[in-house]
Amino acid sequence: MNNVLLTTDSNDLQARVMEASDGRCIALSALDLPTEPADLLARLGHPSLPDVIVLDATHEPERALALAARIDQDLPGTAVLLIGEPAALAVPAMRVGARDVLPADASAPLLQETLSRVGSLLERRRAHAHPAVLVPDVQGAPGRVITVLSPKGGAGKTTVATNLAIGLAQYAPGAVVLVDLDVQFGDVATALSLQPEFTLEDVVHGAALRDPIAMKTHLTLHDSGLSVVCAPENPVVADSVTPEQVSELLTALARQFRYVVVDTAAGLEPRTLAALDHTTDPLLLTTFDVTGARGLRKEISTLRELGMLTNARQVVLNFADPKSGLGVADVEETIQSRVDITIPHSKAVTTSLNTGTPLLLHRPKDVVSKQLRQLLGVYTNVSEAARENRRSKR
Ligand SMILES: Nc1ncnc2c1ncn2[C@@H]1O[C@H](COP(=O)(O)OP(=O)(O)O)[C@@H](O)[C@H]1O
Ligand SMILES: [Mg+2]
């Protein structure tokens, strides 16, 4: 059974949630909700974290939504339910990562059913979760794992993953590794002009998983200082890499690197799902068109069911074309999620991939590089505006 924290000023709702949670509920006033989850927990005066936080959003929906977003970000092991008008709150609630919206007059059995559904999702998530997902960013904590996903091939995963990793390597020299998990058709090595001595297959079968020094010697180094685990040459052998091995690999790498960037095959195949269990920052990519948006909608709803759609996610639309007649708002409506960054089409991308010269290093002024730097800023907290500023001052 779950411990519930409820914020409300309705005695009646409090009584129903109390009944639905078998008395495992602490209620606080919904007035003057803090914006920081830590402040809410301080009011609780209780050492253990609640499993589910139920926020009564009937009077101050904006504050409740703002707090829900922060809980999603800061306390990924905790689920949020909102109380309010479902028709009005459903979409904003989804955007901030809340699990459900129930009306203020929801019966105790309905509340109980929802709490137990959310509770079993949480349990499933915790059973798979890597400490990196549950422990906030403290010194010595595992590195961030950024996994680039898309429902279909050709959406630009490798383009985004390689450039993001290169950009991070410039920001944190020696502290970034890129893993090509597109085991059969991975082309990270080509994109970065690398001739690997060892590939994914050697790394997961040898001593590297247990020994950090062996690991370092099995990685391929790019001139930028980025370490890379390239995909195997032979697609048949590659398929012998199991999800469990992927899991061990990412655990080992996250202990040694500040950033682990993972490029994946299209869709949610078992190795990608294993990587997701260790992912702190999912990066969802799709083509900016109707079929791309529909595919992403399915992928997002699967991630949401797995409890993996935290606020740390980035949604990126590639091949953006202002003349297509499709707007960002249309895509947001279809995928029921916010879109964070759009990347336009640029010929320079294909040239860079074909010649193995990363765009961010060789064509920094290209429109796509500009958008990639904006994405980079999400993980380094340096905004494109600040960079432009710095550059113009030089
Ligand atoms: N914004 C873009 N503009 C032009 N071409 C692009 C862009 N993004 C990707 N491409 C091209 O599309 C193809 C597929 O990109 P890639 O990154 O390999 O996708 P994925 O890894 O998802 O299959 C490549 O030829 C790449 O050069
Ligand atoms: Mg690819």
Nearest to 177 by CA among 202, 210, 143, 205: 143
**Beta-carbon contacts of residue 45 (< 8 Å; ≥ 6 apart):** none
Q: Which ligand is nearest to the CA of 288?
A: 1
CA-nearest residue for atom 8, ligand 1, is 156
Domain boundaries of the chain, sorted by first residue: 4-128, 135-393
CA-nearest residue for atom 26, ligand 1, is 350
Architecture of domain 4-128: 3-Layer(aba) Sandwich (3.40)
Read off the amino acid at residue 206.
Answer: G
Burial of 135: CB neighbours in 10 Å, binned 0-12, 13-18, 19+: middle
pLDDT for the residue 268: 93
Three-state DSSP class for 263?
strand
Report angle CA 355, 266, 242 to the nearest 5 degrees: 105
Angle between helices 347-355 and 157-171 (to 10 degrees): 80
pLDDT for the residue 236: 85
The predicted model scores a pTM of 0.68
153 pocket-lining for ligand 1 (C-beta < 6 Å): yes
| Cα–ligand 1 centroid distance for 283 (angstroms) | 16
Q: Which ligand is nearest to the CA of 358?
A: 1
CA-nearest residue for atom 2, ligand 1, is 345
Nearest to 182 by CA among 154, 210, 214: 154
| Cα–ligand 1 centroid distance for 173 (angstroms) | 26
The rounded distance, in Å, linking the Cα atoms of 304 and 281 is 14
Hey, how many other C-beta atoms are within 10 angstroms of the C-beta on 28?
16
Angle between helices 270-277 and 243-256 (to 10 degrees): 30
**Are 4-128 and 135-393 the same fold in CATH?**
yes
pLDDT for the residue 393: 42
pLDDT for the residue 96: 86
Hey, how many other C-beta atoms are within 10 angstroms of the C-beta on 66?
15
User: What is the end-to-end Cα distance of the chain in Å, rounded?
Assistant: 59
Token digits for 319? 């091949």
pLDDT for the residue 47: 61
**Beta-carbon contacts of residue 272 (< 8 Å; ≥ 6 apart):** 147, 149, 181, 264, 265
Token digits for 10? 């309705």
Per-residue pLDDT of the chain (394 residues; tens, 9 = 90+): 678 999 999 999 999 999 999 888 889 999 888 988 888 888 877 666 788 999 999 999 999 999 999 988 777 778 899 999 999 998 888 888 888 999 999 999 999 999 988 888 777 666 554 433 333 333 457 899 999 999 999 999 999 999 999 999 998 988 999 999 999 999 999 999 999 999 999 999 888 998 888 898 899 999 999 999 999 998 888 888 999 999 999 999 999 999 999 999 999 999 999 999 999 999 999 999 999 999 999 999 888 888 777 778 899 999 998 888 899 999 999 998 899 999 999 999 999 999 999 999 999 999 999 999 999 999 987 655 555 554 444 4
231 pocket-lining for ligand 1 (C-beta < 6 Å): no
Please provide the CATH number assigned to the domain covering 135-393: 3.40.50.300
Q: Which ligand is nearest to the CA of 181?
A: 2
Hey, how many other C-beta atoms are within 10 angstroms of the C-beta on 2?
19
